[in-house]
């Protein structure tokens, strides 16, 4: 099969590789139709990643069609459209037992990454890590189930209450997904700070109050909007520690700060410990998702409760994946998908 093989920083090549084949009665073969580019793919491509040692096929946000199943498979049929989670948790390790399966140390993975024609999983994997996609749902949208699941994980931890005021730093695809899920959770006002005009426009179209941090004075803006109290929840969806430090005071006493975006390794952050002591602000972080959140994400897309189509700005064939990566590196557009 054709696949985009990552061979070290800056090296991504379309190669002919061995396709996964059904060898056991409980296996499921999925023809990948759409695989979206994620920040993690870009980070790996540019700088390498401890979890993706080259040569390896990247890609983990995808949807496709079941094309072959072993004879014991009951969970899906040939011809079904599905989206597949890029990992499932083991259910047995310390973190799974402690109720944070998204931190599982013994994750299971599909046969290979999704910038390839086929991916194989087992039926037991599918029980936790597959979601059916109805015929009328575009597979480009279904491919965004995984990033949406990651956002649900963060918003669940934020415990947004009806009529809360939420501030989101950054309106990249993940910031915008946070905006959509926070709205669904009943936030009455969502303020989005973003440098890029086109991204502010999308956030504004989605109903956010937008700010250009290079022009507006964020501090007085937030103070005015919240009668001097600060926002209930602050979600940081950028990878810049200076930006993060500059916004920590915008949360109200007793409020929550969610570090959603991953930072470069060995980053450090300076903060006043009295933010937590006297002001009782909670610092939270989030990465990954639980099987339940993956299924919830698929349900929300399938039933039109979250419209991710607004985030998909470009589509490239697999052969042109390098151009797709270059576009993403240049911060052009929002979600870029690869059709396979």
Query: In this complex, which beta carbon is closest to Zn ion, that of residue 139 or of residue 231?
Result: 139
Q: How far apart are CA 142 and CA 131, in angstroms?
A: 9
* 90 is an interface residue for Zn ion by CB under 5 A: yes
Residue 185: CB atoms within 10 A of its CB come to 18
Query: In this complex, which beta carbon is closest to Zn ion, that of residue 96 or of residue 208?
Result: 96
Inter-residue contact 320 to 19 (CB < 8 Å): no
Query: In this complex, which beta carbon is closest to Zn ion, that of residue 90 or of residue 283?
Result: 90
In angstroms and rounded to an integer, the radius of gyration of the C-alpha atoms of the chain is 20
Contact range with Zn ion by CB under 5 A, out of 90-98, 231-239, 273-281, 312-320: 90-98
Residue 78 structure tokens: 């040939």
- Which of 33, 38, 31 lies closest to 111, judged by CA? 31
* Residue 37 CB, nearest approach to Zn ion (Å): 9
* Residue 90 CB, nearest approach to Zn ion (Å): 4
The torsion angle over the Cα atoms of residues 288, 292, 296 and 297, rounded to 10 degrees, is: 20
Query: In this complex, which beta carbon is closest to Zn ion, that of residue 94 or of residue 269?
Result: 94
Crossing angle of the two packed helices 39-47 and 321-329, in degrees rounded to 10? 90
* Residue 91 CB, nearest approach to Zn ion (Å): 6
Contact range with Zn ion by CB under 5 A, out of 2-10, 22-30, 91-99, 310-318: 91-99
* 334 is an interface residue for Zn ion by CB under 5 A: no
Q: How far apart are CA 188 and CA 214, in angstroms?
A: 25
* 293 is an interface residue for Zn ion by CB under 5 A: no
* 104 is an interface residue for Zn ion by CB under 5 A: yes
- Which of 19, 30, 212 lies closest to 132, judged by CA? 30
Size of the site for Zn ion (CB under 5 A): 6
* Residue 323 CB, nearest approach to Zn ion (Å): 20
* Residue 92 CB, nearest approach to Zn ion (Å): 6
* 100 is an interface residue for Zn ion by CB under 5 A: no
Q: Which helix (H) or strand (E) holds 191?
A: strand 189-193
Of the candidate residues 96, 131, 182, 324, the single one contacting Zn ion (CB under 5 A): 96
Q: How far apart are CA 263 and CA 327, in angstroms?
A: 21
- Positions in 20-39 near Zn ion (CB under 5 A): 38
Residues that bind Zn ion (CB under 5 A): 38, 89-90, 93, 96, 104
């Amino acid at each position: 099969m054709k696949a985009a093989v990552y061979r070290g920083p800056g090296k991504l090549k379309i190669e002919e590789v061995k396709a996964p084949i059904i060898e056991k009665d409980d296996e499921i073969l999925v023809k990948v139709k759409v695989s979206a580019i994620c920040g993690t793919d870009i980070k790996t491509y540019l700088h390498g990643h401890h979890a993706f040692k080259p040569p390896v096929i990247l890609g983990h946000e995808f949807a496709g069609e079941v094309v072959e199943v072993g004879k014991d498979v009951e969970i899906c049929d040939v011809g079904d459209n599905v989206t597949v989670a890029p990992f499932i948790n083991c259910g047995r390790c310390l973190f799974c037992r402690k109720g944070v399966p998204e931190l599982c140390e013994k994750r299971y993975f599909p046969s290979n990454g999704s910038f390839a024609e086929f991916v194989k999983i087992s039926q037991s994997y599918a029980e936790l890590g597959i979601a059916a996609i109805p015929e009328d749902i575009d597979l480009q949208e279904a491919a965004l189930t995984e990033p949406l699941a990651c956002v649900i994980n963060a918003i669940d931890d934020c415990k947004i209450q009806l009529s809360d005021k939420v501030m989101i730093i950054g309106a990249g695809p993940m910031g915008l997904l946070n905006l959509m899920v926070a709205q669904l959770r009943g936030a009455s006002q969502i303020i989005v700070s973003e440098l890029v005009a086109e991204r502010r426009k999308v956030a504004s179209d989605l109903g956010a109050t937008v700010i250009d941090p290079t022009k507006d004075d964020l501090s007085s803006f937030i103070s005015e909007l919240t009668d001097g109290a600060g926002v209930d929840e602050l979600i940081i969806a950028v990878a810049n520690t200076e930006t993060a430090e500059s916004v920590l005071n915008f949360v109200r006493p007793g409020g929550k700060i969610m570090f959603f975006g991953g930072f470069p390794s060995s980053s450090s952050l300076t903060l006043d410990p009295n933010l937590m002591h006297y002001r009782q602000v909670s610092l939270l972080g989030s990465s990954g998702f639980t099987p339940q959140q993956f299924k919830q994400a698929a349900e929300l897309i399938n039933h039109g409760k979250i419209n991710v189509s607004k985030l998909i700005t470009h589509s490239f064939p697999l052969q042109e994946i390098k151009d797709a990566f270059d576009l993403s590196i240049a911060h052009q557009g929002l979600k870029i998908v690869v059709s396979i």
